[in-house]
Structure 1
Amino acid sequence: MTTTASTTTTISAPPEHVWALLTDADWWNRADNGVVDVSGTIREGQKIKLVSELDPKRGFALRVAEVQAPRHMVWTGGMPLGLFTGRRTFTLEPAGDAACTFTMAEAFSGLLAPLILRSMPDFQASFDQFASALKTDSEA
């Protein structure tokens, strides 16, 4: 797998509080987090659709593949037969009594990954914007 972007920030809020926002599609849709729209229910095994400011004309069909509340969540999506697969990981690690470290990373794999990755935008600024919005709203 090739990681294309990751971001980490310390949030002055307990993991459970941050998790509540991270798994709330309404928060995703109203926050200044680089996301235009999330539709669906953010729960393990569910399908969601994400539209990013990076490419607002295109929606990405994703599956909430793993959930270990309130610490870890994985979304996956891509092409059939594993030709191209994306894996977005969200992690919350406790950092004291009322704080946590949030990390979000995106990794891609598959036979077509080298070709497709050349045409994809840089996710870093979008990931940093997301982490900043999550921090701001969690600490509010």
Structure 2
Amino acid sequence: MPVDGQAVTEKRTFSRTTSVSLTIDAPPAAVWKLLTDAQHYPDWNSTIVSLKGNISPEGKLELVSTLDPSRTFKLKIKDFNPPTRLVWGDALGQRTYTLSGTNAGQTLFEMTEKIGGPVFPLFASRIPPFDASFEQFAADLKAAAERAA
């Protein structure tokens, strides 16, 4: 079982999956509010350079990450189920956010990204590891949600 806030990556020939989870001392609604406010991501999330668009059903996003600030990822919202599940992605990958409330009023936050496909082995070596970025994303979200709660 992974340590709270520590990312884990599973590599396969045609895909790579990175996940992180942690407990946030705030209710799911407070965490959801942060996750669905694209305009303010750079205010609380040090892994995001910019995020433009709408995080809503059928929304479209343009994301620039600190992992590759020269590239803009064009993403679509694939699942939007407040306040428990959000999925965005493109043809090569999908990021899933899951929020589960606890009896203590906390939120179990889980984030998983799977990238891959038939041509994945051709470019896999050029994709940087996500572990440190995922850990920082989760830590930033935790800090922001706990400040707001």
Which whole-Å CA distance do the structure 2 matches of 1:4 and 1:88 have between them?
Answer: 10
Which whole-Å CA distance do the structure 1 matches of 2:56 and 2:121 have between them?
Answer: 30
Task: Map residues 100-111 of structure 1 onto 2, 5 A cutoff.
Answer: 100-111=107-118
Q: TM-score, normalised by structure 1?
A: 0.90
Consecutive unaligned residues in structure 2, runs of 5 or more = 1-13
Whichever residue aligns with residue 77 of structure 1, its letter is D
Consecutive unaligned residues in structure 1, runs of 5 or more = 79-84
Q: What percentage of residue pairs aligned between the two structures are identical? A: 39
Is the aligned partner of 1:68 residue 2:75? no
Distance 1:70 1:106, change over 3 A: same
Which whole-Å CA distance do the structure 1 matches of 2:84 and 2:16 have between them?
Answer: 20
Cα deviations across residues 62-110 of structure 1 (Å, max 9, x unaligned)?
00110111000111113xxxxxx20100000112241011011110232
Aligned to 1:40: 53
Contact 2:19 2:134 in 1 (8 A): yes
How many pairs were matched up?
Answer: 134
Q: TM-score, normalised by structure 2?
A: 0.85
Match of 1:131 among 114, 117, 138: 138
The alignment yields a C-alpha RMSD, in angstroms, of 1.3
Which whole-Å CA distance do the structure 1 matches of 2:29 and 2:47 have between them?
Answer: 23
Name segments (4+ residues, structure 1) moved above 4 Å: none
Pick which of 107-116 and 119-128 moved more.
107-116
